[in-house]
A and B are shown apart, each in its own frame.
Chain A
Amino acid sequence: MARAMEQYLRPGISTTPFCPGCGHGILLGLILRSIHALGIDIGEMVFVSGIGCAAWIPSPHFKADTLHTTHGRAIAFATGAKLYNPKLRVMVISGDGDLSSIGGNHLIHAARRDIDIKVVCANNMIYGMTGGQVAATTPVGSTTSTTPLGNPDRPFDLCKLVEAAGARYVARYSVTQPMALMESIKKSLFFKGFSFIEVLSPCPTQFGSKNLLESASKMMEWLKENCIPREEAERLSPEELEGKIVTGEWVDVEVNTS
């Protein structure tokens, strides 16, 4: 199976640039496996990404049309490509800082306009590439290189944000929930309308190392422990939910094309 995914990689690509323990490689593999499972010709897809570690998931790895853009603007570039040629299957893959902070405006407006693109947001809760600075998704109290005394600000709930903006498909999973995440990616690949999947992806190098999760396995364990399915979360009290990341599907209202 691992070798089978090679057919979707650009020739000459042998390794990814991701750090040991980074979740982005798992996400990369799951996206390719989803495409493979559905029998989609990857060459007929366009992958658009911004700037940051997650933006490197499709570019240069995927053997498809890839557009590696400026910081925060991936969705706006994708909007132009999709509107001009609606036949293109367009997927945006980028990070939380890129899509929700510097590019937050484009995220909510693309959801509002219901642009028929698939957005996969790899959320590592920190700015990885630039050295571990606080992000709009960093949990309260976390240490980062720009919040040495702990993050004083509340993070975005990206799924609620995008749902409120009008997205038709909204889901959140962690790379530690690979089967559920893959089902979600597969769903979005054939989905009509704006879809958004937030993917919790560990960053042991920048987030873990500053927050007592210094090894890759500890970071993974932490995600496994704290990411709980929606159904389970509904049974918990607000106190028990403190610090948990709820995963699952939130909105699923496909455009009626009949």
Chain B
Amino acid sequence: MGWKRLKASLLPGRYYLSGNEAVAEGAIAAGCRFYGGYPITPSSEIMERMARRLGEIGGVFVQMEDELSSIAAVIGASWAGAKAMTATSGPGFSLMMENIGYAAFTETPCVIVDIQRAGPATGQATRVGSGDIMQAKWGSHGDYQIIALSPWSVQEMYDGAIRAFNVAERYRVPTFLLGDEAVGHLRETLEIRPWVRAFDRRKSKGRPPFDSKNPRQIPPMPTFGEGENLLVTGSTHEGFGIRRADDPEVHSRLVRRLNDKILLNKQDIVEVEELFLEDAVVAVLCYGFTARSALTAVKQLRDKGYKVGFFRLKTIWPFPHEQIAQMSEEVEKFFVPEMNRGQVAGEAMKSSRCEVVPYCQTNGEIIPPEVIRKELMRLL
């Protein structure tokens, strides 16, 4: 329970892996021992590697009949005590939404990797996109919070998978690793360190698994078979799980607590990366693979003396509104390049006190550094 130190599941050293392969290795390093999934491009390499690796180390792998059952099996395994994961892409992510809401409402830790491709619908199945940002936050019905991380490198696919499990277990919440096709299929060097810091869900016999007096605190999570007579339900419930579906008080308290437990712990969850911002006039607000192009463009412009800065979201949900509000007092403009129609730009506008300039590209291609450089020049 709580934090512990685990030996890495691969020998320490440098590896040359794809982002998708790195996710699988990170998950296993974090203690993931259950994978339920359904094949979908461009995420399938994750499940293929999990099938092999879980077989080697004695975990459980099951290829389910669809994405609805994949996430259901993951939630079932989580209540049976597993650190459990699935991976998918847009169409499968859409199919998982109802049970993602169930996981949020029943406070079930689980990790869902979404290797985003160009949608909507079947769209460009093999091409890159990042159109699932808002779906990750709002895809299931009702008001709930989740955590979503946005890796930009093979290293961060590995580290991000570990972090996703840690925050999922710590806050008892479904957690997304929102990769994209480009970072999933990117191959580069990955450093495996000898030890991994891992968090295991807290247990406390006899205490209510679905309530806590202090909304910042996460209730303990027992496991099936421990004699706790767990009552898990997706209906509105009180602390021990008893259905109270017609009680306005219980429902409002539960929904508020599920939101508060993430939002009040935002400081510990949200991570951003800030570079060259001290004197910046324009800051590039970016995430995922696009942040690689953005950093190249920013560096090139700074070499020429332009005052541009780099602000990268490593966590997308909960959204770093506080950091954006603060930064917007210091720069004149935010420039937001995205492989969608402005999903993060729109969110940033809620808190930014300076102008937010979106750059939206939805053609299944990555946004190259020269495009970002050119657009930035127009703003400077």
Contact = CB atoms under 8 A, between A and B. Distances in A.
A129 to B, nearest CB: 12
Contact of A10 (B33, B78, B98, B229): B229
B17 interface: no
A46 B231 CA distance: 10
Interface string A40-72: 000110101000000000011001111111101
A100 interface: no
Contacts of B230: 65-67
B80 interface: yes
B37 to A, nearest CB: 11
A105 B66 contact: yes
Contacts of A80: 34, 36, 62, 72-78, 80, 82, 84
B68 A66 contact: no
A78 interface: yes
B224 A77 contact: no
Contacts, number: 128
Interface stretch (B2-10, B42-50, B232-240, B351-359): B232-240
A12 B77 CA distance: 29
Contacts of A105: 65-66, 69
A66 B60 CA distance: 22
B79 interface: yes
A114 B64 CA distance: 13
Contacts of B102: 69-70
Interface in A59-113: 59-60, 63-70, 72-73, 75-85, 87-88, 105-106, 109, 113
B369 interface: no
A68 B233 contact: yes
A85 B232 contact: no
Contact of B234 (A63, A70, A82, A113): A70
Interface string B84-98: 100000000000001
Interface in B221-267: 224-225, 227-235, 241-243
B145 interface: no
A83 B79 contact: no
B231 A81 contact: no
B81 interface: yes
A43 B73 contact: no
Contacts of B64: 76, 79, 109
Contact of A70 (B72, B231, B241): B72
Given A84-B84, A85-B224, A106-B69, A79 B229 contact: no
B99 interface: yes
A79 B231 contact: no
A83 B72 contact: no
Interface residues of B, number: 40
Contacts of A60: 231, 233, 241-243
Contacts of A43: 227, 229
Q: By CB atoms of chain B within 10 A, which of A12, A72, A76, A88 has the most?
A: A76
Nearest to A44: B225
Given A65-B225, A83-B34, A105-B69, A10 B77 contact: no
Given A44-B225, A106-B69, A79 B98 contact: no
Given A65-B230, A68-B235, A84-B33, A79 B69 contact: yes
Given A81-B80, A85-B81, A76 B72 contact: yes
Nearest to A102: B68
B76 A79 contact: yes
B73 A70 contact: no
Contacts of A76: 64, 68-70, 72-73, 76
Nearest to A43: B227
Given A10-B229, A10-B231, A43-B229, A79 B62 contact: yes
A88 B224 contact: yes
B345 to A, nearest CB: 34
Contacts of A88: 80, 224-225
Contacts of A83: 34, 60, 62, 73, 77
Given A73-B99, A79-B69, A81-B79, 9 more contacts: A44-B225, A59-B231, A63-B229, A66-B233, A76-B70, A84-B82, A88-B225, A106-B65, A109-B65
26 contacts: A46-B80, A59-B231, A59-B233, A60-B233, A60-B243, A65-B230, A66-B231, A67-B76, A67-B79, A67-B232, A68-B234, A69-B234, A70-B99, A76-B64, A76-B69, A78-B76, A80-B73, A80-B75, A80-B78, A80-B84, A81-B76, A81-B79, A81-B224, A84-B34, A85-B225, A109-B65
Interface of B: 33-34, 36, 60, 62, 64-66, 68-70, 72-82, 84, 98-99, 102, 224-225, 227-235, 241-243
The 10 closest A-B pairs by CB, nearest first: A80-B76, A80-B73, A76-B69, A76-B72, A77-B76, A80-B77, A68-B233, A81-B76, A81-B80, A84-B77
